[in-house]
Amino acid sequence: MKTRITHIFSLTAVLTTAVLLLCLSSCDDSNKKVGPDIGVRDSLPTLKSVGVSTLISDSGIIRYKIISEDWFIYDKKDPEYWSFEKGLFIERFNESYHVDAFISCDTAYYYYRKRLWELRSRVLVKNLKGETFKTSLLYWDELAHRIYSERYMEIDGETRKLSGYNFSSNESMTDYIIHSSKGQFPLEEKDHTPEPDPAIIAEQNAAQQAENANNTGQSSQPQEMAK
């Protein structure tokens, strides 16, 4: 089964539905008193939600958990975006409801017209292979199916550790490139001194004996001619 981190961020439909429901409920109440027009409101959010915590299902199975202290929608900004100023945390569950991947950061922005995520400050990602990625800035371009960052990044896996700049990867962060890198790779340890193969030794001895016999025969020919 092919799984991508793309699914972790497939929140557009869910969150858009929530926005529509809130807008519809506010439009139905025509008896509410309306305050004076505040003029230009491009600096004000259209929607503010506090204490966001929700579960997302995929094919009837709970797959993701999203947690954020606040969520703002700015639809009058240029470009329009959503903001999670106090952090964003997303977990992915496997079939046994154990967490097998997650994303966290101190601040997140989603430019939904461009379908571009911007994760800032103490960004931490764990992919399905168990590798962790730490950086201060990470972009995810949904249209290009690409995750990238020019900032310094540390990658910690079971068999190696890497660090460097100009990181670029696929959406699941399993196939990636990092430049100006350095790292640690374990060397295979030997528990005993390697022993030679007996068959090879026997073949070498036979070849040496044949060569010695050939040399002995050549050295005896001049002696016979002298007699």
Percent of the chain beyond pLDDT 70? 67
Tens digit of each residue's pLDDT (9 = 90 or more) over 96-124: 888 888 999 999 999 999 999 999 999 99
Average pLDDT of the residues in 24-31: 45
Average pLDDT of the residues in 60-80: 90
SS3 17: helix
Architecture of domain 5-18+43-184 in this structure: Sandwich (2.60)
**pLDDT recorded at residue 54:** 87
* SS3 track for 139-200: EEECCCCEEEECCCEEEECCCCEEEEEEEEECCCCCCEEEEEEEEECCCCCCCCCCCCCHHH
- For 161-170, b/e burial (b = at least 16 CB within 10 A) is ebbbeebebe
Reported as a pLDDT band with limits 50, 70 and 90, residue 24 is very low
Tens digit of each residue's pLDDT (9 = 90 or more) over 122-166: 999 999 899 999 999 999 998 999 999 999 999 999 888 999 999
Yes or no: say if 139 and 148 are a contact pair by the CB < 8 Å rule. yes
